[in-house]
Amino acid sequence: MHSVIELPFNQHVGLQIADDPAKVLQLPAGPQYLNHLGTVHASAQLALAEASSGEFLLRAIGDMAGIVPVVRRLESKFRKPAKGRLTSTVSALDGIESLRSELEAKGRALITVQIELHDEFGAHTLSASVEWFVTRIVAA
């Protein structure tokens, strides 16, 4: 897999690689994403946040052969109503190098990825953290 946007669910939702290279992914504007208030639905924002954290891992780790990442926890705070296209930025407080060394030493590791979503008008709409459990596949 080259990107998490290749996953069937993410294709169904319509997630895309961000146009802006400083961002990770984007959710385009569209009426299918709106809630009863006319703003972007919470579930659409969470889908973008989770996928963005996975895309970050995929880019940071590179070759995922023999490695399985699984979401362990997702925490979020909705900050402002979201309108139009959303984009994501990500960072990892724990660090990719720490993840790699733990995988090498123990065959498994945890990493928390921080995600920030902004809408096309500049509003900071969501802050989230996704904790991933990453393990090496043991050959039988």
- Per residue in 82-131, pLDDT (tens digit) is 999 999 999 987 688 888 889 889 999 999 999 999 999 999 999 999 99
Considering its fold, how many domains does the chain have in total?
1
Higher per-residue pLDDT: 34 or 1: 34
Whole-model pTM: value is 0.93
Task: Look at residues 95, 94, 93, 85 and name the one whose alpha carbon lies nearest to residue 117.
Answer: 85
What is the Cα–Cα distance from 47 to 110, expressed in whole angstroms?
21
The CATH number assigned to the domain holding 28 equals: 3.10.129.10
Q: Which domain holds residue 102?
A: 4-136
Q: What burial class does residue 41 get, using C-beta atoms within 10 Å of its C-beta: 0-12 exposed, 13-18 middle, 19+ buried?
A: middle
The tokens describing 34, both together, are 């709106």
